[in-house]
Amino acid sequence: TVRIWDYTQDACINVLSGHTAPVRGLMWNPEIPYLLISGSWDYTIRVWDTRDGTCLDTVYDHGADVYGLSCHPSRPFTMASCSRDSTVRLWSLTPLIYPLQINILADRCWDEIIGNTDRAVESGAPPLLCGKVSRDIKQEVEKLTGNPRGKKLRWFSECFSPPGGSKNLWDLVAIIKGQDDSLLPQNYCKGIMHMKHLIRFRMSKAQELTTVKMSKFGGGIGAPSKEERLKEAAEIHLRLGQIQRYCELMVELGEWDKALSVAPGVSVKYWRKLMQRRADQLIQEENDDVIPYCIATGDVKKLVSFFTSRGQLKEALLVAQAACEGNIQMSPLSTTSGSSNSGENNTDDCNKLLHKVSKELAEWYFQDGHAVLAACCHLAVENIELAMANLIRGNELELAISVGTVLGESAAQATHYALELLARKCMTVTTWDLAADLLMMIPDNKLHLVKLCAFYPGCIAEINDLHEKCNLPDVEECMRLAETIQADGDIFETIKYYLLSAEPEKALPIGIQYVKEQLCGSDWTLDSVCPYLDLLSYIRTERLVLHKCSGFRNELLILCGYIGALLAIRRQYNSIVPALYEYTSQLLKRREVSVPLKIEQLSEELDAWRACTQLNTPTDELPCTPPSESQRTVYSILISRIQEEPLKGMVGPDYVSGSNLPSHSDVHISCLTGLRIQGPVFFLEDGKSAVSLNDALMWAKVNPFSPLGTGIRLNPF
C-alpha cells in the first residue's frame, strides 16, 4: 500500500491499494498537487488521484522491480523511471491532465489554467497548474507587450512536451518568423539547424579543430609492394612523355596518388575521369577516403548517395547544403543538363538534392517514432507543409496547432485540420464547449460547428444553448428548415438541418439513398460521396443505435467501411486497407442490407490493390507475380474514383511516439491484423479488443465508426 499522511494532524488520511508487492519509488508531480506516482516490486508504475484514492493509470512496461521515479526539472510532465530490468524509461504525463493544454490553445483565462493548491485539490475540480514552472511562465507572459500569444504557446508547449526536439522545433519556427540569430540559444548548433546556419556552424567547428595539430596526411592509400618490372616500365613511359600510359600502369599497381598527381599533364578531363574511377572503387570498398575525391570532382550526387546508403543522413544533408551555397562546385557530369543555363541548373539540382536528403532524414526520424525531430528536418529547409504533416501524423496535435498558430498563413490548412481532429478528441461529456472554441478558430467553420452540435447528446435545452453559442438556429427551427429545404431538393442542406433537429434519424434514409444512387453510377468519385457520409456519421449515437434505425445503421456502417477503405488507399494507410475491406465484407455477410456492393467485388478490388501496389516489395520466399490485365483494369477504375489527396503531406502511415520502443507489458494481439501490437495499444469499446494506436488513428481518419460494427464512433486522438 501507499499511505498519505497529514502531518499537522499526525494522521493517515488515505490508503492507496493496488500494488501486489513492496512499493519502492514515490513521486509527487510538482505542478498537479493531487497527482502521485508510485513504483513497485510488482513491476508496475501506478498513477494516483489522491483526492479520492483513484488509480488513474497502471503501466506494465518494465520487466522487473521498479526502483526509482524522478521528474524533469523544467518539464514537469516528463517523468523517468528506473528498474531492475536494466532500463531507464521516460514517460509523458500530459494525457492525465486533459484538457489543460486545450484550455491554453483556446486562449482561455488564467483562472482555467493556473490556480492555487486549495482549489486544485477540491474533489472533482478540473486539473490546474500550481507549480513554479507554470507561475514563472505566467509572470514572463505578463511582462510582454503587444500580442504575447506566440510566446505563451511556445513556453507552455515546452513545459508539456518531453525533451524530444520540441525546443529545436520552436527555434526553427522563430528563425522562419525572422528572429535575430543572436537570440538563438548556445546549444542550437547541437540540434537540427536551419539550412542557412548549417555551413556556418560546421565551418566554425572545423576552425576550432584546426587549432589542434592533428595531421593525418600519409604517403598514399595503403600501397602494397608491386612487381619491379611494371614499375620500371611505367618509369620508361613517363620519360618518353607517355603520361596516360604511365597513369594506367600506376593504377594497375594501386599507386593511385602517383597516377593522379601527373594525370592533369594529359588533360583535366582525363584527371577528372581518373578521380571518378578512384571514387567508384572506394565506394565499393565503403571507404571514407572517397569523400575528398567526390568533392574535388564536384560529384555531389555520388557523395550524397554514398552517405545515404550508409545511413549517414546528417552528413548527406551537410554536403547537399554546401553545394547549395556554392562551396562545392558541381561538375557538369553530376547535373541533369549541360545547357547554357548551367548555373541555374546547378542551383536547382542542389536545392532538389537538399530537399531530397532532408526528406529522407525526416522519414528516418518519423518511422523511428520521433515526429517532432522529423518536423525539425522539414522546417530546417522551410518545408512548412511537411513539417506540420509530420506533427499531425505523429498525433502531436496540440504542438501542431501551437506551431501553426505562430507560423500563420503558411501553415493555415494543416492547422485547421489539426484543430478539427483535436475538436473530435474534445467531443466527450465535459469538454463540448472547448470543442466549439477550437472549431471557432477555423475561419470557415460553419459545417464543423454543425457536426459538433449534431453529435451533442444533451437535453433539448442544452442542445439549444450549444446551437446559440455556435450561431445556429434552435432545434425546432432546424426541423422547419429541414422540411422546407427538402421540398426544394437540396439534399445536403436537408441532411444538415435534420441532424440538428429533435429527430436526426430522419436524415439517414435521405443521405443513404443519395449515396447508394451515386454508387450505382459509373462516374462517381470519393469527393462526390464523402461529404454526405461524413455528415451522416455525426448523428447522435443514442439515436443511431435505436432498434428502429438498425437497417439504416447497417447500411451506413457498410458504406462508411467501403469508402473508408478507398480513403485509406488514397492516404496509403496500407496496414488497415485489408482490414477495412474485411470489415465491410463481414457486415455484408451478417446483416440484411440493400446496398450496391457485392462481396465478390470487394475481394476483386482488394486483390487488385495488392497486386498493383506491392510490386516493389518482393521477398525471397514470396516473389511478386505481376498483376493480371483484369486486375490492372480494376485498379485503374479505383484510382480514377479515389483521385488525389487534397492534404498532400498527410499521405503515409501514422507513427506516434514510442511506436518502436520495446515493452514487457502483456502481449496484445490486434483485432485488425492478427499480429502482436508493438508500441502504444488502443482498446475498443468492449474493453477487450485491442488495436495499435497507430492503426486506430488511421482508421478514425478514414472511417469514424468502431471496427466492432457497433455504430459507436472511434476517438483515439
Residue 484 forms part of a structural domain: no
508 found inside a domain: no
As a whole number of angstroms, the distance between CA 373 and CA 419 comes to: 21
Q: Do 80 and 179 fall into the same domain? A: no
Q: What is the pLDDT of residue 220?
A: 44
Residue 533 counted as domain residue: yes
Q: How far apart (Å, rounded) are the C-alpha atoms in residues 657 and 638? A: 33
Locate 431 and state its grid cell: 469538454
**How many structural domains comprise the chain?**
5
> Which pLDDT score is estimated for 262?
87
Q: Are residues 82 and 187 in the same domain?
A: no
| Whether 171 and 83 share a structural domain | no
pLDDT of residue 330: 64
300 & 316 share domain: yes
Q: Would residue 514 count as lying in a domain? A: no
Residue 404 covered by a domain: no
Cα angle 423, 379, 412 (rounded to 5 degrees) comes to 35
Same domain as 658, residue 555: yes
- Same domain membership, residue 279 and residue 257: no
Residue 47: per-residue pLDDT: 94
Question: What range defines the domain where residue 294 resides?
Answer: 269-327
Query: Of 675, 703, 401, nearest to 571 (Cα)?
Result: 703
- What are the grid coordinates assigned to 650, written together? 498527410
243 falls within a domain: yes
Is 529 within a domain? yes
109 in the same domain as 13: no
131 is written with which cell numbers?
Answer: 507549480
Based on the fold, state whether residues 255 and 163 are members of the same structural domain.
Answer: no
Within 10 Å of residue 21's Cβ, how many Cβ atoms? 12
Task: State the pLDDT at residue 221.
Answer: 43
pLDDT of residue 144: 86
Q: CA 144: distance to chain centroid? A: 32
Q: Is there a single domain that holds both residue 671 and residue 531?
A: yes
Cβ-Cβ contacts under 8 Å for 185 (sequence gap 6 or more):
167, 171
What are the grid coordinates assigned to 199, written together?
Answer: 555551413
Joined together, the cell numbers standing for residue 654 give 501514422
Q: Which residues contact 280 (CB under 8 A, 6 or more apart)?
A: none
What per-residue confidence (pLDDT) applies to 368?
87
Distance of alpha carbon 189 from alpha carbon 206, whole angstroms = 13
Q: Are residues 581 and 565 in the same domain?
A: yes
Question: What pLDDT, on the 0 to 100 scale, is given for residue 214?
Answer: 38
Output the pLDDT for position 535: 94
Low-confidence ranges of the chain (pLDDT < 50): 209-226, 333, 335-340, 615-616
pLDDT at 322: 72
pLDDT at residue 316 in the model: 76
Q: How far apart are CA 266 and CA 250, in angstroms?
A: 14
Q: Are residues 31 and 84 in the same domain?
A: yes
Q: Check whether residue 52 and residue 139 sit in a common domain.
A: no
